[in-house]
Copies of this chain bind each other. A is one copy, B any other.
Amino acid sequence: MPSFHPPLRTLMGPGPSDVHPRVLAAMAQPTIGHLDPAFVDLMDDIKALLRRTFRTDNDITFPISAPGSVGMEACFVNLVEPGDTVIVCRNGVFGGRMKENVERAGGTAVIVDDPWTRAVDPQRLEDALKAHPQARLVAFVMAETSTGALSDARTLVDIAHRHDALAIVDAVTALGGVELDVDGWGIDAIYSGSQKCLSCPPGLSPVSFSERALARVRARTTPVQSWFLDLNLVLGYWSGAGRRSYHHTAPVNALYGLHEALVMLHEEGLEAAWARHALHHRALRAGLPALGLELLGADGERLPQLNVVGIPSGVDDARVRQTLLATHGVEIGAGLGEFAGKAWRIGLMGQSASQRHVLTCLSALGSALAAQGREVDTGAALAAAGRVYAAA
């Protein structure tokens, strides 16, 4: 069986995003032992960099050795006890996954539904908390990867706290792409993924837990159902205090990559990265109308890093994506759940938030749509995007 050599791609889907050669080169450095003093120092550096990225002083801030879905599961299995009521705000696929996690942890999920593409409505959360005063937890997705909606995490966390509930925030697609302030907003537990705006390969899930959340975990009367995710055990491995106790074997080379990606993010500056994501979103949005396309969602609620574009009737979804991939090497995302066949998801995340990506995507989309006989003016699309850049 021959070695594998990936095709050349430009990644503009819902993740993974393009990974910088510095990160790839970091991951190709020789593996060392996970208890090597040099590796323990690296773990400390990663924790410090993640704290800066989440804007938190939380001691318990580290990358779980598995994808973002496992970061979600870590929050729920540690914070939900059998019989707990949890308010889950659902405005896309990932809110539905939260419900699954609550129920498998023995809790009861009270669902607050909002329309797809829309932000979570604070009033509906407030109403649900009034109707279910026993709720101990509120969970929501800050940046819904399935719909492109950005919710107001600060306001939602405030409401949860006013009703004596803790807040779990899904920041898989949010972290590094839009403003996020874990301590300033009082977020109790948060998880993210490496392959979105951090521009690492997939496989790691940065998490952070507040002291309030840890107190809840310590006060549990039932054991955490997962051995791997039990914070009481994993902390001995990632905790900064004294000797490390063996828990599992950390994914050494993946952590080399995460470290380098975080170094690059902070070389740029967190606020500069947020502004960069916003700029390229504006440019993409400006170019779409000349291709007969528009973003779904409502003003002020759209993620810059994940753009959900309605598929015009008569356009062959699969054929467009196939042409983009095979002819142009450009990957965009299919619609997920309710949006299958109805929308595309164009990611401008991390290294994929660049002028090169926006212009490549507009010209490739223009070409693929023209090949289906659509009336498009690709030149006008590129010019509209160019005007955004000229004004910036």
A→B interface (CB under 8 Å):
1-9, 11, 13, 15-16, 18-19, 22, 24-39, 42, 45, 48-49, 65-70, 72-73, 77, 97, 100-101, 103-105, 193, 195, 201-203, 223-228, 246-254, 256-257, 259-260, 263, 266, 325, 331, 336
A364 to chain B, nearest CB (A): 15
Residues of chain B lying within 8 A (CB to CB) of residue A101: 227
A51 to chain B, nearest CB (A): 12
The answer to whether A36 touches B73, judged by C-beta atoms less than 8 angstroms apart, is no
The answer to whether B33 touches A24, judged by C-beta atoms less than 8 angstroms apart, is no
The answer to whether A19 touches B33, judged by C-beta atoms less than 8 angstroms apart, is no
Q: Which residue in chain B gives the minimum CB-CB distance to A15?
A: B249
Contact among B31, B226, B331 for A33, CB-based, below 8 A: B331
Q: In whole angstroms, how far apart are the Cα atoms of A260 and B66 in the complex?
A: 21
Residues of chain B lying within 8 A (CB to CB) of residue A224: 104
Contact among B9, B25, B253, B257 for A32, CB-based, below 8 A: B9
In the assembled complex, 8 residue pairs joining A and B whose CB atoms fall closer than 8 Å, in A order, are A25-B28, A65-B66, A67-B251, A101-B227, A104-B223, A202-B250, A225-B225, A253-B257
Copies in the complex: 2
Q: In whole angstroms, how far apart are the Cα atoms of A254 and B1 in the complex?
A: 18
Known contacts A8-B30, A19-B31, A28-B28; A251/B201 CB under 8 A: yes
Q: In whole angstroms, how far apart are the Cα atoms of A281 and B224 in the complex?
A: 41
Known contacts A7-B32, A16-B33, A24-B30; A202/B252 CB under 8 A: yes
Q: In whole angstroms, how far apart are the Cα atoms of A206 and B66 in the complex?
A: 14
